[in-house]
Chain A
């Protein structure tokens, strides 16, 4: 039972354009969401997070949007740069203070110069 889904295994975007990565979840108990970026042979690196009390959070070129009614979140990267090429994972954790993160299967983003 995949509670966090990233339905696009891969995405290619031209350098300078906007990259939009999507994530859907099914568990209504999730209330804290994170995005991680992963390069080959390295561990995931934290990018940005959002709590369910917000619908948007920005950090530089990265913005995360949360639509609770649709159980959907998205990560926008503007403008996209070659160094953004990596696998992106969304993750969620529940209301009960549990530290367990449930991850999606990832989206491989390729930025085309």
Chain B
């Protein structure tokens, strides 16, 4: 069974640009969550999508948005990039019901110059 796939693995952008990251969940998983990891901050929850609807949202500005498609694949978009957006962005998939384990992809490393 294939794991969670994130593309691209690495990205370099400049301030003010926008970026789109992609996540393909494990087959059969309907929930996709996105997290941001920065040094010393652990993993911060961005949002969660379930059956194409945003079900939960973290405390990030509106520049961070996402969507989920009918095949459960998800994209995350960051507009007007800032230097502080440089981070590892991780997506996790699960069945989406109570107590299910979230399985993570390898992440996309975003560097904003």
Name A's B-contacting residues (CB within 8 A).
Answer: 32, 34, 36, 41-46, 49, 51, 89, 91, 97-106
Contact = CB atoms under 8 A, between A and B. Distances in A.
A28 B76 CA distance: 31
Interface residues of B, number: 31
B31 interface: yes
B4 to A, nearest CB: 7
A43 B56 contact: no
Contacts of A104: 42
B96 A44 contact: no
Given A89-B43, A104-B42, A105-B42, A99 B33 contact: yes
Interface of B: 4, 6, 31, 33, 35, 40-45, 48, 50, 55-56, 58, 90, 92, 94, 96-107
A107 B43 CA distance: 13
A44 B101 contact: no
